[in-house]
Amino acid sequence: MRSPVPDYLQAVLDACADNSVGEVASYIPELGQVDADQLAVAACLPDGKLYSAGDVDTEFTIQSISKALAYAIALEQHGIAGVEEHVGVEPSGDSFNEISLGPKGRPRNPMVNIGAVTIHAIIGDPDDSAEERSQRVLDGMGAFAGRELTVDEDVMESELSEAHRNLALAHLVRSNGTFDADPPVVVTGYIRQCSAKVTVKDLAVMGMTLAMGGVNPLTGNRVVSRRVARHVLSVMATCGMYDAAGDWMTDVGIPAKSGVGGGIMGALPGQAGVATFSPKLDEFGNSARGIRVFERLSEEMGLHLMDVPVSADGVVRARDEVTVDDHAQQRVQLQGALQFGGAESALETMSEIEPGDDTVVVDVSHVTFMNEVSTRMLGDGMKRLKEDGHDVVLVDPESRLPHEDDVTVVEEL
């Protein structure tokens, strides 16, 4: 059979085809040249599968979407605490290009221009040239996309000629001593970063890389740490869509970042990278049709941060007795993804086992995911079973669970 998923995406595009709202960004002359009727959507899944519809191969400039990725790159270089000395994480309620700073003289967050310029400035070495620093960012963004990215030189030149506001931002932050690089160099590099060319499919892969905890689903490479990916998603959730953070969270519920080039990159943790492209922007500078597509995807595909299933359901696949080598043994067989709740369910089942000297089998061969805490919790459970007098046999073909020496580990029963 043929998968209906591409049909779903096309149906969403068809439903959002009306293009009467918004205007193409015109403050940069070159951006105004784009074909305003283009429309595309793409979704990338955890296994790297890409669905897309519409003008999926059109390259456009990444613009502000690069803020989220450069932020990740800076976090990898300096650590979360290191970056927070330069740029905060609070939503500002300001429009994207507001020239204001937070209480400690830091930009309020990395998603407004003043924060993004600062993030760019602290990447690499203070003495980097504009070319060197921006190339670091381009290389990093390429790792998110799984391909090498190039720059739209025309757009870059066009933006450089209208860079007074960004120069103002850079000089303002520099005047507080928040970074050491030279403001005109920083702005040139930042504009080069924003001029990277991407397709809607690139954005979906980038989003999925964040949603996978930092691992690119195409290349399998870890691009940033799990902690950094989580941090970036958190900041996208509260600051990504400028002054409509609350509406976006309630209506769409997908951490996202938009750019004046017409793109929007979304990332739903553990589930999907989603991206849209449509050049006309609404009054807040977000792609007008892109927002409608996201709303519809969230609604129709059930993609909403607050709409996750009850996770611990059915994590215990079996609680029974099995006979191995003619010995009856108690078995706790687990399945699915284990986080705190699932591990707690497993422990609850294990705690029903009375002390005794028989053998207890803990079988995690059908478990698809274990986070750190669940690993620790199962370890503690097995230790307590031992303390109760039991022999413990662990079925763990991938050796994912750490265990005491006196636990017998087998690949299968």
326 vs 372, beta carbon nearer a second copy: 372
Query: In this structure, what are the phi and psi dihedrals at residue 151, rounded to the nearest 5 degrees?
Result: -110, 140
Beta carbons of 58 and 199 less than 8 angstroms apart:
yes
Phi-psi region of 385 (alpha: psi -120 to 50; beta: other; left: phi over 0): alpha
Residue nearer to a second copy on the CB measure, 4 or 325: 4
- Which residue, chain included where needed, has tokens 């990159």? 265
Rounded to whole angstroms, how far apart are CA atoms 391 and 380?
14
**86/81 Cα distance (integer angstroms):** 9
Catalytic residue, candidates 112, 158, 190, 367: 190
Q: Which of 242, 361, 392, 407 is catalytic?
A: 242
- 41, 173, 260, 316: the catalytic one is 260
CA distance 30 to 360: 69
Please report how close the Cβ of residue 28 comes to a second copy at its closest, in angstroms.
12
Report the nearest approach of a second copy to the CB of residue 139 (Å): 25
Using alpha carbons, select from 161, 253, 193, 153 the residue that is nearest to residue 65.
Answer: 193
Per-residue buried b or exposed e for 67-87, using 16+ beta carbons within 10 Å of the residue's own CB: bbbbbbbbbbebeeeebeebb
User: Which residue in 185, 181, 171, 178 sits closest to 102, CA to CA?
Assistant: 178
183 or 279: CB nearest a second copy: 183
Residues 6 or more apart in contact with residue 152 via CB below 8 angstroms: 30, 59, 61, 195, 196, 197
Q: Check: CB of residue 196 under 8 Å from CB of residue 49.
A: no
Task: Pick the closer one to a second copy by CB: 146 or 342.
Answer: 342
Q: Which lies closer to a second copy via its Cβ, residue 36 or residue 284?
A: 284
8 in active site: no
Q: How far is the CB of 351 from a second copy (least distance, A)?
A: 4
User: At closest approach, how far in Å is the CB of 37 from a second copy?
Assistant: 28
**How many angstroms separate the CA atoms of 360 and 368, rounded?**
21
How far is residue 288's CA from residue 16's CA, in Å, rounded to a whole number?
10
DSSP 8-class letter at 126: T
Rounded distance, CA 39 to CA 78, Å? Answer: 37
**Cα 233 from Cα 201, distance rounded (Å):** 19
Our answer to whether residue 64 is catalytic in this structure is yes
Active site residue 242: yes
Catalytic residue among 12, 52, 64, 364: 64
Q: Which of 12, 67, 235, 298 is catalytic?
A: 67
51 among known catalytic residues: no
Cβ closer to a second copy: 117 or 200? 117
Residue nearer to a second copy on the CB measure, 135 or 375:
375
Backbone angles phi, psi at 117, to 5 degrees: -65, -40
**Closer CB to a second copy, residue 263 or residue 273?**
273
Question: Are the beta carbons of 113 and 187 closer than 8 angstroms?
Answer: no
- Least gap, CB of 148 to a second copy (angstroms): 26
- For the record, the structure tokens of 13 come out as 């595009």
- Residue 4 CB, shortest distance to a second copy, in Å, is 4
d(CA 24, CA 15): 21
What does DSSP say about strands 60-61 and 408-410: parallel, antiparallel, or unpaired? unpaired
Pairwise CA distance, residues 397 & 391, whole Å? 19
Please state the closest distance from residue 80 (CB atom) to a second copy, in A: 8
In whole angstroms, how close is the CB of 59 to a second copy at the nearest point?
Answer: 27
Residue type, 342: G
Q: Indicate if 252 belongs to the active site.
A: no
Active-site amino acid positions? 64, 67, 190, 242, 260
